[in-house]
Amino acid sequence: MNVTELRPGNYFIDEGNLYQVMDILLNKTAMRKMVAKVKAKNMRTGAITELARNSGYDVEKAVLSKKKMAYLYDDGDNLIFMDNSTFEQIGIAKSRLEWELNFLVSNAEIDILFYDDEILGITLPSSVALQIVDCEPAVRGDTVNKAMKNATLETGFKVKVPLFIENGETVLVRTDTGAYDGRAN
């Protein structure tokens, strides 16, 4: 496919690297060919780069697949996931999922991202429900501003929550920013 046909969210292969389009800007000036500036994430390394290609440049479109799997446990070096229908287990290097590890609890259903037979990573939902295991007591006084206090979740992740949240409550946490998103029902 032509580089000018790429849209955010598309996957493509260029010079042997697998990328996901984050943003694209098409620039056409007077006598020059159109230039596509593509902000892309390398799916194998996680690095975000900016590629500039002329309009006649072709890239190979890549099709990725997702498979629902349950997170089982952390064996020290790898995170182990299991397919609930075939009971097949796979391990993904813990170092590749450092941010995602803050939101994983046992038996959580997660989408695993594949390119052919290569495991690229996991896709988290936009927010997850996690239980608070430790939080500071509410301190009255600063109620003019949005008063927040520190809380530790069951995964060990620390988050700021409103004063009315107590130990043992389940809260929603955004997986992109790690911010409190409300009470879970």
In sequence order, what DSSP letters do the residues of 109-159 get, joined into one string?
EEEEEEETTEEEEEE--SEEEEEEEEEPPP--S--SS--EEEEEETTS-EE
Q: Which residue has the tokens 């979740």?
A: 153
**If you average pLDDT over residues 91-95, what whole number do you get?**
88
User: Using one digit for the tens of pLDDT, what is the confidence trace for 24-47?
Assistant: 999 988 888 889 999 999 988 888
C-alpha dist (Å) from residue 185 to 16, 52, 79, 129, 169: 46, 47, 28, 9, 10
pLDDT for 170: 93
pLDDT for 97: 84
State the average pLDDT for the chain.
88
Count of other CB atoms within 10 angstroms of residue 93: 11
Distance CA 179, CA 12 (A): 31
pTM attached to this predicted model: 0.72
* Residue whose C-alpha is closest to residue 74's, from 49, 55, 94: 94
Q: How confident is the model at residue 53 (pLDDT cuts 50, 70, 90)?
A: very high
Instruction: Inform me whether the pLDDT recorded for 18 exceeds 90.
Output: yes
DSSP class of 70: E
pLDDT over 70 for what percent of the chain? 96
Distance CA 174, CA 124 (A): 10
pLDDT for 31: 83
pLDDT for 143: 60
Instruction: Inform me whether the pLDDT recorded for 77 exceeds 60.
Output: yes
Over its C-alpha atoms, the chain yields an Rg (Å, rounded) of 21
pLDDT for 46: 81
User: Using one digit for the tens of pLDDT, what is the confidence trace for 118-167?
Assistant: 888 888 888 899 999 998 887 666 566 678 888 999 999 999 998 888 88
